[in-house]
Structure 1
Amino acid sequence: MAPRSNPSERQRRLGAELRKLRLRARMSSDAAAELLEGERSRVSHIEAGRINVSNNRLYKLLRAYGCPPGPCFDELMGMGQASGKGWWDEFDDTIGPVARNLAELESRSVVVRSHEPHLIPGLLQTEEYARAVISETESDAQRTERYVEFRLARQRVLTRDTPFTYRAVIYESALHTLVGGPNVLRRQLLRLIEISRLPNVNVLILPFKTGAYSAYGRSFEIFGGVAPELDTVYLEHPVNSLFLHDGDQLDEYAKMFERLSELALAPVDPESTPESHESRDSLTLIQHVMYTL
């Protein structure tokens, strides 16, 4: 099989982790090739995500590289066994590689942490809010509807049989931006409150008064599995979105998210009574903005 020219994020990540483990074990590409009974170029292709590695050979490499049994070993084996196929295949007529990578990342995540400074995060959007957002960059009405369907399908990860934990820190600006007009925004804010009833969803609002916020003005998501060292940071960009997995980068964004969480108001708790509200918590702020609409 010819090497693929556009590996998925999962394929690139598996290859990068195998290279990291090989170098840590001080094993040459030639020695790894001998384990695989192949040429050195095969190892290079595997580490670049351009070709697959069978389960047996992946197991052999992980053992030879000294990867101990445990969550990291199991998750790497799972990444190698995954086919990359899923519910998102039905949208191949519309979505590109980045959207596919996001859907696949979400499908195998245990916890997702999201920071959004300008808009309500996609996993929390109503249909009409999502349509208003997508139509700003997509002029074709049919494609817009397909993108909306895809975004709503992604939201099923929050209510599947084994949903991941979702923590979102949203800057107050997103509550005021009139996406689709006042009525659309008001229903979106109601949706924020309603979805917070899910035990696995945690929504925090970062108020305007947070003076230190200027240092954190970029949206990002952290996708986490059972092995924290295999987390992935996603940075959305109109031209070239990025998936980061360097250890120092992971630590930096994890610390940034925790700092944002500390600066934010207490999380939305739809079950609380008005008497139990803090003088300034996320629910109170959302309700205040809704009142102004």
Structure 2
Amino acid sequence: MPPRRVITGRSQEPRKRFAEELRLLRTERGESLRRLGETLGWDWSLFGKMENGETVGGPEVVQALDQHYGTAGLLLALWELAVADPAQFREKYRHYMSLEAKAVSLWHYAVCWLPGLLQTEAYARTLMETGILKGDELTRQVEARLRRQELLTGANPLGFRTVLSETVLRTKLTNLAQWQEQLEHLLTMGDRRNVTIQVVPHSVGLYALSSTDVMFLRLADGRVVAWVETGISGSQINATADVDYLQHRYDRVRDLALSPADSRKFIMRTLEEAQCEPSI
């Protein structure tokens, strides 16, 4: 197939194209960022960050821009492409993100930290700060992680099950208020019909997958692939025999886990314990 011809000269990368269109629409009207902010009721600096590609904003502000410019949903369509663009993620995770965007259901086991799909902003930022990310890049990656959660909360949410080692709930944030917020967020997400959260208590003893953080992704063609994560990188498992082996071990772990109802009670007790801790 011959390469796609570029007619407009504008970027073919969704995130950059979205920023370019925002800047072009505003400058063609001769509006300043400050004037745009005053008109729409948002801080003008948000629009500057959107035009610079630092953030893509949320659907509410994009819908307001569509109405303001009379673009009939064009900006919202570009925003959806920008949100799903794997290029926004760090290079070593882009392949996984492209798989996740195509999945029709997900199920997961967590060794020691919560899956990104269930993290609050404070939890994600604290976790990423333990690595090499800093400044604007840290902020961009936190925002990208939070936008992924629309897979669970959007108009057509994916089915998602996660089985959490008790270690996940015992490894708290040092900021007590932020940790309470994270536990409350888990309870809120667990109330969604498409989300199932289970906990494997330490009392069950040794069990399979105790050192393997794994996500299973069912794709539209019916295939199931597994993604195994370490603290350094992740790897995709495609071979049917290997995926079946991991799935069998996952099923055994799920059988050992508390029921969703009892897992909710476990999380609530953890929250109550956190609320009783003295603030430092």
Q: Same fold per TM (> 0.5)? A: yes
1:80-126 per-position Cα deviation (integer Å, ceiling 9, x unaligned):
xxxxx94357673x633332222221221111011001011110001
Q: Out of 111, 123, 145, which is 1:117 matched to?
A: 111
CA distance 1:150–1:170, change in 2 (3 Å): same
**Counterparts of 2:118 and 2:197 in 1: how far apart (Å)?**
10
**Counterparts of 1:179 and 1:164 in 2: how far apart (Å)?**
28
1:198-217 per-position Cα deviation (integer Å, ceiling 9, x unaligned):
11100001111111326532
The Cα of 1:227 is off from its aligned counterpart by: 4.1
Aligned length: 198
Alignment map for 1:97-116 (pairs within 5 Å): 97-116=91-110
CA distance 1:258–1:240, change in 2 (3 Å): same
Alignment map for 1:49-68 (pairs within 5 Å): none
**Counterparts of 1:207 and 1:122 in 2: how far apart (Å)?**
21
**Counterparts of 1:285 and 1:117 in 2: how far apart (Å)?**
17
Identity %, equivalent residues: 24
Matched, 1:237 2:226: no
**Matched residue, 1:216:** 210
In structure 2, give the amino acid aligned to 1:263.
L
1:119-161 per-position Cα deviation (integer Å, ceiling 9, x unaligned):
1111000111111111110341211111100000111111222
Q: Secondary structure at the match of 2:197?
A: strand
1:221-249 per-position Cα deviation (integer Å, ceiling 9, x unaligned):
00012444x21110123444210110101
**Counterparts of 1:196 and 1:241 in 2: how far apart (Å)?**
26
**Matched residue, 1:153:** 147
Q: Secondary structure at the match of 1:133?
A: helix
Question: 8 Å contact 2:114–2:168 — kept in the other structure?
Answer: yes
Alignment map for 1:188-207 (pairs within 5 Å): 188-207=182-201
Matched, 1:183 2:177: yes
Q: Which runs of 5+ in 2 are unaligned?
A: 3-79, 275-280
In structure 1, give the amino acid aligned to 2:272.
Y
Matched, 1:265 2:258: yes
**Counterparts of 1:225 and 1:95 in 2: how far apart (Å)?**
21
Q: Out of 151, 154, 162, which is 1:168 matched to?
A: 162
The Cα of 1:191 is off from its aligned counterpart by: 0.6
Question: 8 Å contact 1:157–1:164 — kept in the other structure?
Answer: yes
Q: Out of 89, 92, 96, which is 2:90 matched to?
A: 96
Q: Secondary structure at the match of 1:212?
A: coil
**Counterparts of 1:214 and 1:108 in 2: how far apart (Å)?**
28
Q: Secondary structure at the match of 2:103?
A: coil
**Counterparts of 1:156 and 1:130 in 2: how far apart (Å)?**
16
Q: Which runs of 5+ in 1 are unaligned?
A: 3-84, 269-280
**Counterparts of 1:261 and 1:100 in 2: how far apart (Å)?**
28
Q: Secondary structure at the match of 1:112?
A: strand
**Counterparts of 1:163 and 1:153 in 2: how far apart (Å)?**
13
**Counterparts of 1:145 and 1:90 in 2: how far apart (Å)?**
17
Question: 8 Å contact 2:200–2:256 — kept in the other structure?
Answer: yes
In structure 2, give the amino acid aligned to 1:284.
K
Question: 8 Å contact 2:109–2:164 — kept in the other structure?
Answer: yes
Q: Secondary structure at the match of 2:206?
A: helix
In structure 2, give the amino acid aligned to 1:255.
H
